[in-house]
A and B are shown apart, each in its own frame.
Chain A
Amino acid sequence: MTLFALLFSIVFGIGSLAFGYLLTGFAPFARWIAFFGVLWLIAVWQRWRWFAYLGIAFNLFAAAFGLWLLNFPPGWMFAGAIGGLLAFDLTDFWNRVRFIDADEERRGFERHHLIRISLLAILGMTLASVAMFIKLQFTFEWAIVLIVIVVLGLTQLIVWFRQIGK
Chain B
Amino acid sequence: MSLLATHALYKSFGQLVVADGIDFELGPGDRHALIGPNGAGKTTFVNLLTGALAPSDGRVMLDGRDITRLGEAQRVKRGLVRTFQINQLFAGLTVLENVALAVAERRGAASVFWTPLRRRADLIDEAADLLVQLDLTAVADTAVAAVPYGLQRMLELALALALKPRVLLLDEPTAGVPSAESHRMLEAVEALGQDLAVLIIEHDMDVVFRFASAVTVLVGGKVLVQGAPDEIARNADVRAVYLAESRDD
Chain A partners chain B: no
